[in-house]
Structure 1
Amino acid sequence: MDENTLARPVPEDAPAAAAAWVERIRRKVAESGRTVRLMEFCGTHTMAIARSGLRSLLRGAVELVSGPGCPVCVTADGEIDRMLAYCDVPGSIVATYGDLLRVPGSHSSLARRRAEGTDVRVVYSALDALQLARENPDRPVVFLGVGFETTAPAAALAVKTAREEGLGNFYVHSAHKQTPPAMRALLEAGDLKLDGIICPGHVSTVLGAEAFAFLPAEYGVPGAVAGFEPLDILLAVDHLVDAALGRRSPDLWNGYPRWVRPGGNRRAQALLNEVFRPCDARWRGLGWLPGSGLCLRDEFAPFDAETRFPAAVPEPPARKGCRCGEVLRGLLTPAECPLFGRACRPEQPVGPCMVSSEGACAAWYRYGPGEEVRA
C-alpha cells in the first residue's frame, strides 16, 4: 500500500494497514540509528493519537509531542476572568461551548457562576447564540468565541447576520486565535527541537495547506497536513520521518486531500477578512503573540462585547503547581506535571488541559500513558 492509496478514504482493512505502516516506520527509524521527534499541533490529533495508542506503538522510534492546538487550553487565565465579568451584566445571557464551562479562572468558572444563578448556556455554534438573541430581544446575549480559524468563520457569519437583521442585543467576545503565529513562536523559542510538524486538518480545510508553507521555507522544518483516522496520522508521520532521515527534502505535504483543497475555503476566508482583523493575543504558555488573535473590525464594533461592556480585570495571580503552559509548548508531558492525576483530575481540574476534550492532560488521563500516577 502506497501513500496515494492511504491519502484516499480509509480502507476497510484499516487495522492491518495500520500495523503494517507502524512496522514500516519503526524499521526505517531503526536503520537510521536515531529517533524522530514530531509535534502534533492540533488537539483533535492529540486525542486521536491517545485513543488509538499510536504514541505507544511508535515509542522508541518516533516521539509524538503535543502542541498548543487546543483553543480552550491556550485561553489564558486573564481572558477567562474577562469572560466571567459578563456574568455580572444585568439580565445577560452568556453563551459558549461546553468545554469552556469548567475551565477555572483565577477566582471562579462559568460552571460555578451558572450554579450560582447566572444564565450561562451551552451552544454548539455562534449561530445558536444568535438565535438566543432573536428569542430574547430584551436581554443582552454575549457569545464567548473561542477557537482557531475553523470555528471563527461561524462567529463572523453570526456578527454579519446580526448587523443585517438590526439585532442590537447580540455581542461577541472574540478570543479566536490564528495558528501560524503560534507555530512560528514555538520554532523561534529555540527550546524545542522538532524534526517535523503534523499540521491541523480542520484549520487547513479553511486556510488551505499553503498556510503552513513557511515551515520548510523559513525554518527548514517539514510539515504534513493530516486527517484524523489513525492511518491518516501514520501517513503523515511516515512522510515526516522520511524528511527527518534525509530520504526527501523538507517540504509541506497535504495528506488530507479528501477535505483540504488547494486554496482552502474561499468563502470562509472572505468572512474572516470581512468581519475580523488580526490583533495581538495572549496564549497560555506562549504569552503575547503579535497578530495571533482575531478582533472585530471597527465597522462591527457595536457587536464587540468588550467595547459594549468594559470591565477592569486585574492581572491574575500565577497558578501554583500547574504546568499546563509547559505542556502546551511541548516541554513537558502531562505526566511530568506534579499535579497530574493527583490534585488535577477531570472531575476537579486545576488547569484547562485537563478540562477540554482536546486537552493533552485529558487525553493522557483517559487513555494513557501515565496511568501509574493515578492514586
Structure 2
Amino acid sequence: MTLFARLESATREVWQTAFRLVPWPTKAGLRSVGTPDEASPVLVTCNYDLTVRRLLKALAGCDAWVVVAPTRGINVWCAAAGGHMGSHQVVSALKTSGVADRVDHRDVILPQLAATGVLALDVFRRSRWRVRFGPVAASQLPAYLAAGAGKGEKTEAMRRVTFPASDRMQMAASWAAPASIVFGGLALLFEPAWAWPLCLLVSVMAIAVFAIFDRLGAHRKAILAVASTTGALSITLLFGGGGVAAAVAMAAALSMAAALTFDYEGTTPLEGSGHFEGRAWTITLDTDRCEAIDRCWEVCPKGCFEKLEGRNKIELAHEDRCIRCGACVVQCPQDALFFQDSDGARIEPDVIRRFKLNLLGQRSVDSSSSDAGAGS
C-alpha cells in the first residue's frame, strides 16, 4: 500500500468513526481476500463502508470471498433490526454477485448480529445457500475460520457482545464530533472566543458518559446533570469567562447531557433502547416444542441460553440478560420462542420476523414487501 493510500485510508477511518451515526455506503458486490478458490469460505456483510474495510483488514492472511449486501450504508446490527438487512438483501446479493460460480459449495457465513433480520431458513429456501452465523466481532473471524469455517461450535467469547473501552471511545467520538460542530459553530457566529472551550466541554462530556454512565446506578441522570453543571462552571473559570459565558456553558452542557442520555441504552449493546416498545416484554421458551436445534444458543448476543447435557433441550438459563433483540425468536424453526407483553399477551414469532424497528424503537417497519421479491 502506498503512502497516499495509507493516508487516504486513515482519513476515512477518522471521518467515519467521528460521524458513524450516519450511513456510509460502499459498493455492493463481491470482494476477494487473499487468493480464494472454489473451496474458500463465503461471507456476507453490510455495505457500511467502515464495516467492510474493517472486515477486510481483519481477514488479512485468510483466503475468502466476501459478498457485500445492499443495506443502505447502515451497519449490520442496525440494518438487520431496522429491516434493511434481511433475507431479501442477502439472497439478492448472493445471486447477483456471481459467487456461486466461484465456489463448489453452498455454505455462507453471516455476521451473528444479522440474525435479528435474516431468517436462515428463508435464505436456504430461496437460494439453497446454508447459513451459519459467525462471531460477533470481525476480529474473531480468523480463529473461527481456522476451526473449520463454522463446522465447529463458536466459543462463548465469539457469541457474546461486549462494550470494551475502544468501542466506548468510538461512540464518544461519534457524538463529540457533531456536537462540537454545532456548539462550536454557533459560538463562532456570536462569540468566537467561546468556540474552543465549548468544543472541549462537549467532548469531555461524551467521553465521560460512554466511559461510566451505565455504571452509575439508578440516579445516573441526576449525577450527570450535577457533573455537567460543575464542568460548565469549571470551563468558564478556566478560560476566564463571566456570567454570560457561564450561562451559555451550562446551557450547552445540559443540552449535551439531554442528547446523550435521551436514548443512551439504544446506542450501546448493553440493553435495549429506552424507548423500545418491547422493553417490558419477556422472552418465553415453550419446552414442549423445543428440539434443541441450537439456533437460539448460536445467535443470542447475551448468552441467555444453555445446552442441557444429555437432554435434547435448550434451557433459558439467563432470562435477565435478554435485551429483546428478537434474534432467537426469528431463527427458531420450531417457533418454540416468543415474547409476552406486560399483560401476558403472546407476541407471535411471525410478528417479530415481519415487523422491524423504526428509529423510535417501534415495530412498525414491514419487511415483508422487500422480502417478497427475493426469490425472483
Asked if TM exceeds 0.5, the reply is no
Task: Give the TM-score, by structure 1 length.
Answer: 0.29
Q: Which has the higher helix share?
A: 2
Q: Compare CA radii of gyration and give the structure with the larger one.
A: 2
Task: Give the TM-score, by structure 2 length.
Answer: 0.29
